[in-house]
Amino acid sequence: MTDETTYSISDLSQEFDITTRSIRFYEDQGLLSPQRRGQTRIYSRQDRVRLKLILRGKRLGFSLNECRELLELYDHTTSGSEMQLQLLLTRITERRAVLEQQLKDIELMQRELDSVEQRCREELQERHGQATKDSVA
């Protein structure tokens, strides 16, 4: 039951709202390697998943090199030697640490936005006399 679903480069660029240039660049950097029919690139469902992972990494501020490392974590799960598997566990731990720092950063930033928003609303209320409060029931 090999899934034969494929995508063109413009399919993917439209779906994910990126340029074809970017997709080819990711291939250049070794993050993708679609099949070819003649010259044209044919992307499999796996390729599409990889692209999704790349973009997710980018949204978290990871460089393309870091994204590639993440993809390699996936690929090499069963392949490498024992030492490589141990090393892989180490990389996973490192990655986790970064993610948890980001979680903390997000929480702090959310609280700061809360406080700015509140100060902002208070200021608006003062200017409005005391009309249009906070839509309290």
Report CA-CA distances (Å) from 104 to 14, 98, 99: 33, 10, 9
Measured from the CB atom, is 21 or 76 closer to DNA? Answer: 21
- Expressed in angstroms, the distance from the first to the final Cα of the chain is 58
Which 31-90 residues touch a second copy, going by CB under 8 A?
Answer: 53, 56-62, 70, 73-74, 77-78, 82, 85-86, 88-89
99 binds a second copy (CB under 8 A): yes
Residue closer to DNA by CB (options 64, 88) is 64
Site string for DNA, 35-64 (x = CB under 7 A): --xxxxx----------------x----xx
* Nearest Cα residue to 88 out of 70, 107, 61: 70
> Which member of 46, 65, 84, 110 binds DNA (CB under 7 A)?
65
Q: How many CB atoms lie within 10 A of CB 70?
A: 19
